[in-house]
């Protein structure tokens, strides 16, 4: 079906199905830029502590190396490894945690918190080279090329504008202490990175707007699809319940109308009632009506009003009610029990004819 035919906005049901399949408007550039800013902010807040912890660990390593007796023993190596890993966890851990939280929040802000397991199912079409090449050379190619070029150009221009003013003051750093020089260059680099990250956010916002537009276009439906979905889902729960009640009432009325044609009604005697008919057209007696409690009482009443024999046989009544549906013939394992009931009914009918 041509995409030009899709002129109608997506219905809520259609959107829900698309979301369940993982089809949402999401920009990886926007999420990446938010994570980048969060990481840079975390570094700016913890940078001094990271430098101090790293310097302390480095001094400890040099101290152990200067004493071969400690550095070559198992206890010495174990302590050195433990100290190094602890420093990494205490310095890198907060930054990694901040980036992870920022990534989750960026994703939730774009698509909402509605996890779906559909995207976790293996799909070999995702690794199909032909499908990948088709997507790469699809209608999104011009925008993707423009976006990649814009990212490089904008980030480069912003970084250059942040770097150029500092070039004129490079002469003033001559003779400065190494520690102070490191702090100065670190601050300059962090400032440039933050400006470039905010430019990356602007690109991510534009990309997200484009992804939302493309997503809405892909979700559009044809007029026929909207009509079909309205017919399928447009009926309210109250109307459906009313239709079911009417169907049940009609079926019950048809069942009660068939009771006068029965040869016998087998009862529990009060909880179950089953009406059987055998006219020779089928291989075995047919169940034409059944019910429990109030419906069973109604079946018995209709049978008595129409002179249909009512026989109390609780085990047979329960077995027929549980195992046979209306319109079905009785199963083979109940032949003998039903035959005894019918024989009794036929004998009783014969005596009545002789008496009359």
The residue-averaged pLDDT of 35-41 equals 86
The residue-averaged pLDDT of 173-179 equals 62
Choice between 268 and 63, residue whose per-residue pLDDT is larger: 268
In the structure, what pLDDT confidence band is assigned to residue 173 with cuts at 50, 70 and 90?
Answer: low
Helix (H, G, I), strand (E, B) or coil at 97: helix
Written as six digits, the tokens of 160 are 């250059």
CB atoms within 10 A of CB 261: 13
Q: Could you give the CA distance from residue 105 to residue 99 in angstroms, rounded to a whole number?
A: 10
pLDDT of residue 338: 92
Question: Of 121-135, 162-176, 215-229, which has the strongest mean pLDDT?
Answer: 215-229
pLDDT, tens digit (0-9, with 9 covering 90-100), for 192-209? 788 888 888 888 888 888
| pLDDT of residue 2 exceeding 50 | no
Distances (CA, A) of 92 to 56, 61, 73, 209, 283: 15, 19, 28, 33, 82
pLDDT of residue 166: 63
In the structure, what pLDDT confidence band is assigned to residue 27 with cuts at 50, 70 and 90?
Answer: confident
pLDDT, tens digit (0-9, with 9 covering 90-100), for 238-272? 767 788 889 889 989 999 999 999 999 999 878 89
Secondary element (H or E) of residue 265: strand 264-267
Q: Could you give the CA distance from residue 147 to residue 206 in angstroms, rounded to a whole number?
A: 9
**Rounded to the nearest 5°, which phi and psi values hold at 250?**
-65, -40
Q: Hey, what domains does the chain have and what are their CATH numbers?
A: 3-230 (no CATH), 239-355 (3.40.1690.10)
Q: What is the mean pLDDT of the chain?
A: 79
């Amino acid at each position: 079906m041509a995409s030009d035919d899709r002129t109608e906005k997506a219905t809520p049901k259609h959107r829900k199905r698309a979301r369940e399949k993982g089809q949402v408007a999401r920009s990886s550039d926007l999420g990446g830029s938010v994570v980048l800013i969060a990481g840079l902010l975390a570094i700016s807040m913890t940078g001094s502590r990271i430098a101090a912890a790293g310097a302390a660990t480095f001094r400890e390593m040099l101290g152990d190396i200067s004493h071969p007796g400690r550095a070559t023993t198992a206890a010495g190596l174990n302590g050195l490894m433990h100290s190094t890993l602890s420093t990494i966890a205490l310095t890198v851990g907060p930054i990694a945690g901040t980036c992870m939280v920022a990534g989750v929040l960026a994703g939730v802000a774009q698509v909402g918190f509605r996890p779906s397991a559909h995207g976790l199912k293996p799909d070999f079409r995702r690794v199909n080279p032909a499908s990948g090449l088709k997507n790469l050379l699809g209608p999104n190619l011009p925008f993707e090329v423009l976006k990649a070029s814009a990212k490089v150009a904008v980030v480069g221009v912003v970084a250059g504008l942040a770097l150029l003013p500092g070039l004129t003051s490079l002469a003033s750093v001559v003779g400065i202490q190494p520690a102070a020089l490191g702090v100065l260059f670190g601050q300059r680099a962090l400032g440039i990175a933050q400006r470039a990250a905010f430019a990356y956010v602007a690109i991510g916002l534009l990309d997200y707007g484009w992804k939302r537009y493309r997503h809405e276009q892909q979700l559009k439906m044809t007029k026929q699809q909207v009509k079909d979905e309205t017919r399928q889902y447009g009926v309210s729960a109250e109307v459906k319940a009313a239709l079911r009640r009417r169907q049940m009432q009609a079926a019950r009325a048809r069942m009660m109308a068939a009771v006068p044609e029965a040869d016998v009604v087998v009862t529990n005697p009060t909880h179950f009632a089953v009406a059987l008919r055998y006219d020779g057209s089928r291989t075995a007696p047919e169940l034409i009506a059944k019910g429990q409690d109030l419906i069973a009482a109604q079946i018995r009443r209709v049978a008595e009003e129409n002179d249909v024999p009512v026989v109390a046989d609780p085990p047979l009544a329960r077995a027929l009610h549980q195992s046979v549906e209306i319109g079905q013939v009785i199963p083979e394992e109940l032949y003998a029990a039903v035959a005894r009931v019918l024989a009794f009914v036929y004998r009783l009918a014969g005596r009545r004819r002789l008496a009359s």
